[in-house]
Amino acid sequence: MIKRYGDYFDRKTIVITGAASGMGRETALLFGGQGANVVCADVDEEQGRRTAARIAEAGGVADFVKTDVTRRADVRRLAEQAVAKHGGVDFLFNSAGSALRRSKFLDIDDELLDRAIDLNFKGVFYATQEILPHMLRKKFGVIVNVSSMSVKRGGPGATIHYAAAKGAVTTLTLGVAREFAREGIRCLSISPGPFDTNFQAASDTTPELAQKFLADVPMNRLGRPSEIAELVLFMCSNVCEFMTADTVYVNGGGGYR
């Protein structure tokens, strides 16, 4: 694999939640190929270990820590193990998230609301709060969170619970970035539109709704997880050190209707 930024990522450590699939997995593979130590975290142990194994087979350094990001104790253990193994954490990619299931607003019950907030917001909050102190000790760190294009649209008729939780992620990103900007910490978020991941199937997206999403994309295709991975790599690199607090929309020109 060609190194994008020379030896910048050599021996630096990234923690990635949601590393068993989709954007998290592609980002883990890319960072592993760039010389970083990759700590893969996911509730899916089989696929998470497979991600770590693929990195190791390609000559990289990777560990897997089974982690339920909705449980603070799990996330704290993840941070502690990453620091114990690698001496610190340089980058955090909060990729774990899901709409869980689609629902009209008046049909959203307490269980769905709580699960959406726990996974999509609290998971990001816990990981950031547990890993940030280790970054502050070195006066260096980059945190990248996955928000959503749905924040601009609100998710009417299907994912208001998800859009609201992701809106909180965007606000969290802004707040953390501004509070710790003078401490060597950068914090950014990515707001994807429709992507070719298992997210759609996991949230019971019908073929009709999937076609509607695609019709709204001027590029006339879904995004690829590898495209998010490349963006995360850029955000964590040393070529955009003045970039923080913002969200970057990645949507093929769509998502505004």
Exposed / middle / buried, residue 220 (Cβ in 10 Å: 0-12, 13-18, 19+): exposed
Cβ neighbors of 84 (< 8 A, separation 6 or more) are: none
**Cα–Cα dist 215/232, whole Å:** 27
Q: Given 5, 8, 162, 249, which residue is catalytic?
A: 162
The DSSP string of 171-238 is HHHHHHHHHSGGGTEEEEEEEE-SBSSTHHHHTT--HHHHHHHHHT-TT-S-B-HHHHHHHHHHHHST
Per-residue b/e over 107-130, b at no fewer than 16 CB within 10 Å? Answer: ebeeebbebbbbbbbbbbbbbbeb
**Token pair recorded at residue 121:** 């917001």
Helix or strand run (H / E) with residue 112 = helix 110-117
Among this protein's residues, is 162 annotated catalytic?
Answer: yes
Which residues are marked as active site?
Answer: 162
